[in-house]
Amino acid sequence: MLLKMTAGLSGPDFNLAPGDTHEFDDAEAGRLIEAAFAEKADVPDAAPAEKRKKGKANVVSTEGNAGAE
């Protein structure tokens, strides 16, 4: 179950701050919610990615530049 932490929690495999989300098994998730250390995280539907324009190549010419090597 995906939880959003309301308090800090550290363990051998993770270090979570308030606001962080982490996947826990159902038994552990229930215990953390009951103790008010976490709440169920809202899982937003994935929005389609916006199409991006390709930028122009960043090309620098050294012709006529005596300082370039």
18-37 pLDDT, tens digit each? 999 999 999 999 999 999 99
Q: Choose between 46 and 69: higher pLDDT.
A: 46
Q: Are 21 and 5 in contact (CB under 8 A)?
A: yes
DSSP 6: S
52-69 pLDDT, tens digit each? 777 777 777 667 666 555
Residues with Cβ < 8 Å from 42, sequence gap 6 or more? 4
Q: What is the average per-residue pLDDT within 8-13? A: 91
How many H helices and E strands in the chain?
A: 1, 5
